Amino acid sequence: MNTFIFDRFHAIGVIPVLEIDSAAHAVPTAEALSAGGLPIAEVTLRTEAGLDSIRNIARSLPDTLVGAGTVVNLKQAQEARDAGAQFLVSPGMAEDVVLWAQKNTIPILAGAVTPTEIMRGLNLGLTLFKFFPSETMGGLKAIQAVSDPFPQVRFIPTGGVRFENLADYLRMEKVHAVGGSWMAKRSLIAEGRFDEIRRLAEEARRLVETQRQSLE
Ligand code: 3PG
């Protein structure tokens, strides 16, 4: 289930995690990311403008995959879906949200870091997890160690992933894709620095391509 969207996560390689303060900035931000080779946006619901931002991107940019991040309860999941979110991301494992998403066939990336959380996710039928906050939780070493008992599991680490450590993350077999805010930081979006966002997206995308070619 959810194969298409999860395959897109892998193909694009880097999922921009956005905090948008004004919904008017949503489309230009997503356009800049897409022009840089990242036609995907996880718009977090941490700001008041989150839902409207999702709505604007979903309406205006049909080629961009838009999802909602920081989904912590059912109400947010429903609102995000109604606004046009094509996927949901949760920092942790909320079973009611996962079950609702599955019933409504909307892909969900839920957070799991410990063996217990991973087992709860597996029991719900999940095999792809957000690993958050990655660097604080031990980064690649922690992902490798926790993967040993769960060979079928893959992760999307976020939290402390930057251009500087991106290659190390992409190189790891257990890493399906990464997420991060470094190419479209809240301040860059708020200041309308879309050329810079495009440049940083291009830089990240180029590294994904180089990395993938070296693995072929
Ligand atoms: C997230 O919600 O995934 C994180 O806030 C992104 O972490 P970063 O800002 O360290 O990239």
| Mean pLDDT across 164-172 | 97
Residue 2 has pLDDT above 80, yes or no: no
What's residue 3's pLDDT?
80
Give pLDDT tens digits for 28-81: 999 999 999 999 999 999 999 999 999 999 999 999 999 999 999 999 999 999
**What does the CA dihedral 112, 106, 63, 57 come to, rounded to 10 degrees?**
-80
Assess whether the C-beta atom of 159 lies below 6 angstroms from ligand 1: yes
Alpha carbon separation from 20 to 73, 155, 201, 202 (Å, rounded): 20, 25, 17, 20
**Which are the contacts of 18, defined by CB distance < 8 A and separation ≥ 6?**
26, 29, 41, 42, 43, 44, 53, 69, 181, 184, 189
How far does the centroid of ligand 1 lie from the alpha carbon of residue 156, in Å? 11
What's residue 214's pLDDT?
83
Report residue 213's pLDDT band, with 50, 70 and 90 as the boundaries.
confident
Specify whether 203 is catalytic. no
How far does the centroid of ligand 1 lie from the alpha carbon of residue 216, in Å? 29
What domains appear along the chain, each with residue ranges and CATH number? 4-215 (3.20.20.70)
Beta bridge partners of 66: 41
Catalytic: which of 42, 48, 103, 209? 42
Catalytic: which of 19, 31, 130, 185? 130
Nearest to 12 by CA among 214, 211, 216, 194: 211
Look up the pTM and report it: 0.96
Give pLDDT tens digits for 106-139: 999 999 999 999 999 999 999 999 999 999 999 9
Element (H, E) at 154: strand 154-157
Assess whether the C-beta atom of 131 lies below 6 angstroms from ligand 1: no
